[in-house]
Structure 1
């Protein structure tokens, strides 16, 4: 299969492909999604096949406006209107209980709920509108690997497996959307996956509690939202998280063990490590915003076989605000492992 690169003036062509059952990756403000007609079970199955993704993992339904959601949901949480008015379009996915059989079970993972999002990306909103149907849109990568934040990343993973890629340049945020569970109108909203919309922001807006579900699903449990599996976003090379106070010890360990090490960090760390390690991927600034935007790109860049790295050491940030989302993704990429002062 030839994978076509669609530009912004080719929306109609790309929309025709997805409407009729093909696969076209699209940009969002978070990461690139793999688009397929959410109403065609065969098209959704082909998403799982292209990604190598377990079919029990539910998919997010991408819409161009909130009215599209009403076709599938008739019992909304009382806080829905306020949340949508403030955060759609944007990096916030909402989970609702849906009308029975209103969406294929290939989309819902067999659950009675479904996740919906209106991305803040003009090209993709135009794609959904032109297609005239909602689109599923899991990250457009090989399942379990770092999510794609450029069209080149998508092409690297899925060339020859999908029909096309709508190129919208590099994404702005770089980590997937916050997933907020509103499926039970009688309970407080619960964050199932952290993202750029934080618990603190939502509580301030709603003036009510917002819960945070930090558990990781077991191998036999069906996740209610994507990204809840234990190991995810992981390159083939071993990844270790490094706390600020441990960088000098980590460098000594690398040298003593004669490891080919890569470093992903901001300028403050990268500038001191660049001559003593095999490769460095530097964030633009020493901020969690810059780190979140470039984490997946860094993991991909340093996982190239030509570098032949033994380990990738990655900078950590405080687990608060956007740092909660950053550390969630980094921890899964590292399989929960920190560099410790001693044997690894």
Structure 2
């Protein structure tokens, strides 16, 4: 795997993507594993590299909302949400236009496609340089911890992909919030709190985050998991567990000593990576996580932690 660095690495990464190669790149949420979304063979390489179930759709990344309208039909709610939150950590699931040219593997056979305009300037520079929609799930093995640094990508996917564009640590640290608009249904909690979306819409969101049939990325019950099992009930501490603390609960490491949910979201996946490494080094068999308030970004953090702690398939 080649490690590319900006600014020269942007052109090299774009050339690799246009050639059907796999390139991981940073967004404000997490690192994405990119492939040309119009190239079915390139998209198939994503599934192979991640070991991802083929029924789990991918998010298509675009540099601006105008390019999104060329691929999908946008109703009034979708346009209002795009105007309010793009670029940013919001993914909209929208009806795919006939002849849009998106490979069928991207949508996993659905008649909708998940679209996002990332806020990270480096990501948009890359997307403009590619000149094509880029499909990009999180750059990690399927079901494992998402990557928020280039080193996480290299640790998880070395030998499986062609390059990583190193843009440093991701600012938000949680995957995007996913919404199906007109009328709005929340499909995945994420880096944009639901309250901000509800303020634009003027009504409470319906939630459908773990349906019987997967409609969007991140809806599998077991996901985001480190190698060691995760336990969210710390009422009984065990000597064979690494503890991830939060606020007043001190641990071997902490999501936020001050109890700041924004800091906790940004550090969540890096903390899980570090805790997993610490568990291996100590010969421990579990990772315990201190309680997180279930409000604002805390709901998205708890969503990831519940999926990380779910029974493995």
Scaled by the length of structure 2, what TM-score is found?
Answer: 0.94
SS of the residue 1:303 aligns to: helix
SS of the residue 1:86 aligns to: helix
For residues 309 and 107 of structure 1, the distance between their equivalents in structure 2, rounded to whole angstroms, comes to 39
For residues 274 and 121 of structure 2, the distance between their equivalents in structure 1, rounded to whole angstroms, comes to 28
In the alignment, what sits opposite 1:89? 87
For residues 247 and 195 of structure 2, the distance between their equivalents in structure 1, rounded to whole angstroms, comes to 28
In the alignment, what sits opposite 1:195? 190
TM-superposed deviation, 1:149: 0.7
Give matches, 1:298-317, under 5 Å: 298-304=271-277, 305-317=280-292
Question: CA contact under 8 A between 2:173 and 2:269: conserved in structure 1?
Answer: yes
SS of the residue 1:8 aligns to: coil
Question: CA contact under 8 A between 2:231 and 2:287: conserved in structure 1?
Answer: yes
TM-superposed deviation, 1:336: 7.5
SS of the residue 1:331 aligns to: helix
Give matches, 1:223-302, under 5 Å: 223-242=214-233, 247=234, 249-251=235-237, 254=238, 259-266=239-246, 268-270=248-250, 273=251, 280-284=252-256, 285-302=258-275
Question: CA contact under 8 A between 1:303 and 1:309: conserved in structure 2?
Answer: no
Question: CA contact under 8 A between 2:246 and 2:292: conserved in structure 1?
Answer: no
For residues 300 and 255 of structure 2, the distance between their equivalents in structure 1, rounded to whole angstroms, comes to 16
Deviation string for 1:117-154 (max 9, x for gaps)?
A: 01111111011100110101100001000101100000
Scaled by the length of structure 1, what TM-score is found?
Answer: 0.85
The alignment's C-alpha RMSD in Å is 1.6
In the alignment, what sits opposite 1:277? none
In the alignment, what sits opposite 1:211? 206
**Unaligned stretches of 5+ in structure 1?**
274-279, 338-344
For residues 106 and 176 of structure 2, the distance between their equivalents in structure 1, rounded to whole angstroms, comes to 18
Residues 336 and 241 (structure 1), Cα distance of their counterparts in 2 relative to 1, 3 Å cut: farther
Question: CA contact under 8 A between 2:246 and 2:291: conserved in structure 1?
Answer: no
TM-superposed deviation, 1:177: 0.3
TM-superposed deviation, 1:225: 0.5
TM-superposed deviation, 1:195: 1.1
Deviation string for 1:217-263 (max 9, x for gaps)?
A: 44xx3x11111011101112111113xxxx5x423xx1xxxx32101
Count the aligned residue pairs: 307
Mapped pair 1:80 → 2:78: yes
SS of the residue 2:60 aligns to: strand
For residues 186 and 110 of structure 2, the distance between their equivalents in structure 1, rounded to whole angstroms, comes to 18
For residues 262 and 306 of structure 1, the distance between their equivalents in structure 2, rounded to whole angstroms, comes to 11
Deviation string for 1:261-293 (max 9, x for gaps)?
A: 1011135211xx5xxxxxx12224322222211
In the alignment, what sits opposite 2:6? 8
SS of the residue 1:25 aligns to: strand
